[in-house]
Structure 1
Amino acid sequence: MAELYVGLVHYPIYNKRMHVIASAVTNFDIHDISRTCRTYDVKRYYLIHPKDSQKLIIQKILNYWQEGYGRTYNPDRSDALDRVHWIADIAAAAADVEARTGKRPYIVTTDARVYPNTVSYGFMRKQLQEGDRPILLLFGTGFGIEAEVMKSFDYILEPVYGSCDYNHLCVRSAVAIILDRLAGEPWWEKA
């Protein structure tokens, strides 16, 4: 089985006017996504942001829950946050995965749009279950990762569709749904 890593990309991403920006890190994304990552045995959750000011915010939150009163108050949250790591950019996250595993990871991302290298959840689940190459699964903040960067990824997962034409999930929900599709129990095989 391949190892799974998750990255939350804060730069380069689009804002609602389709300008490339660096979005701010949120407390909810740190806590909620780390708990989802822990549930699905993600090896490391990277908060990808180039700004030192955002790194300091991340470190302050992590320190409280890992070294301060928060560790005693809620050890389960501390356990989940042990997988969180700030890193400056996508290339550094991929290099860290390669350093940890000895293999270049597949770089996979998600989007609400379809691209030429879009693949199904079944395809990527099979890569995770049967492959030996790690997977770095990236999620964009804001209005998605910049288009030129998207072209550099190995695969892009098909969009998550609901039962209507509205398609704008918050990133925390998208992470939970997608990790369940890729690494969750095969509930559809149970009768």
Structure 2
Amino acid sequence: MLNNIYLALIHYPVLGRHGNIVSSAVTNLDVHDISRTCRTYNLKGYFVVSNLPAQREIVDNVLNYWLEEFGKEYNPSRSEALTVVKRASYIEDVLEDIEEIEGQKPDLVFTSAKRGRDRLTYGAMRNIIAGSKKPHLLLFGTSWGLPEEIEKMCNYSLEPLRANSDFNHLSVRAAVAIVLDRLIREDTIDVRRD
């Protein structure tokens, strides 16, 4: 079932420039653009995860403006996209929320721009998700990516996008869109009008 997918954008714990664990800053663009992608691909939820109260407040301000205030009337499509967004302090909070909704914990799917062992292709991961009744939570990191401890928590790890490229530094917004398209791809029929 490709309609039982959640996504979390992790701001803590993530890797800093020197490989240390840090908290990264929430960006307005990530909240907006990733929510639009998640809504387009019918994800059940998009969690923005930050352990810092000031960063969670940024998410709250964006959501309040577009869901409750002027933004709701100004741009209803943007408002609808943001209905999938939830904020959380820690990954454990996300798991609890999904378990409360679904009645079971999700399988965790690790993503990274770096190569690693036992990484699944997008086709293989798509088949796993499509053949499962369990919810799946895709984890995306900010800053320099997710630490190894997070990967160890996960049931699956996806291969990186453009792993063989000499330059592999997509924005997380672009990476989310590409990964979701590869996993939930839709075959289209070319219909020509006479």
Does 1:96 find its partner at 2:97? yes
Q: Which amino acid aligns with 2:136?
A: I
Superposition map of 1:132-171 within 5 A: 132-161=133-162, 164-171=165-172
Q: Which amino acid aligns with 1:51?
A: L
Give CA deviations for 1:28-69 in whole Å, capped at 9, x if unaligned: 000000000000000100001111111111111110001111
Query: 2:185 & 2:101 partners in 1: Cα distance?
Result: 24
Query: 2:184 & 2:47 partners in 1: Cα distance?
Result: 18
* Corresponding residue of 2:9: 8
2:45/2:86 contact within 8 Å kept: yes
Q: Alignment length, in residue pairs?
A: 189
Query: 1:115 & 1:95 partners in 2: Cα distance?
Result: 28
2:8/2:140 contact within 8 Å kept: yes
Give the Å deviation of 1:119. 1.1
* Corresponding residue of 2:178: 177
* Corresponding residue of 1:65: 66
2:15/2:22 contact within 8 Å kept: yes
After TM superposition, the structure 1 stretch with the greater mean CA deviation from structure 2, 79-88 or 118-127, is 118-127
1:5/1:44 contact within 8 Å kept: yes
Q: Which amino acid aligns with 2:121?
A: S
Q: What is the DSSP-based 3-state SS (H/G/I as helix, E as strand, rest coil) of the residue aligned with 1:31?
A: helix
Alpha-carbon spacing, 1:162–1:112, altered in 2? closer, same or farther (3 Å): closer
* Corresponding residue of 2:28: 27
Give CA deviations for 1:139-177 in whole Å, capped at 9, x if unaligned: 000001112222221111001017731111110000000
The sequence identity of aligned pairs, in percent, is 43
Give the Å deviation of 1:130. 2.1
1:111/1:157 contact within 8 Å kept: yes
C-alpha RMSD of the superposition: 1.7
Query: 1:143 & 1:163 partners in 2: Cα distance?
Result: 18
Q: TM-score, normalised by structure 2?
A: 0.92
Structure 2 residue runs without a partner (length 5+)? none
Structure 1 residue runs without a partner (length 5+)? none
1:120/1:158 contact within 8 Å kept: yes
After TM superposition, the structure 1 stretch with the greater mean CA deviation from structure 2, 38-47 or 108-117, is 108-117
Give CA deviations for 1:121-140 in whole Å, capped at 9, x if unaligned: 11111122221011000100
After TM superposition, the structure 1 stretch with the greater mean CA deviation from structure 2, 124-133 or 20-29, is 124-133
Query: 2:118 & 2:51 partners in 1: Cα distance?
Result: 27
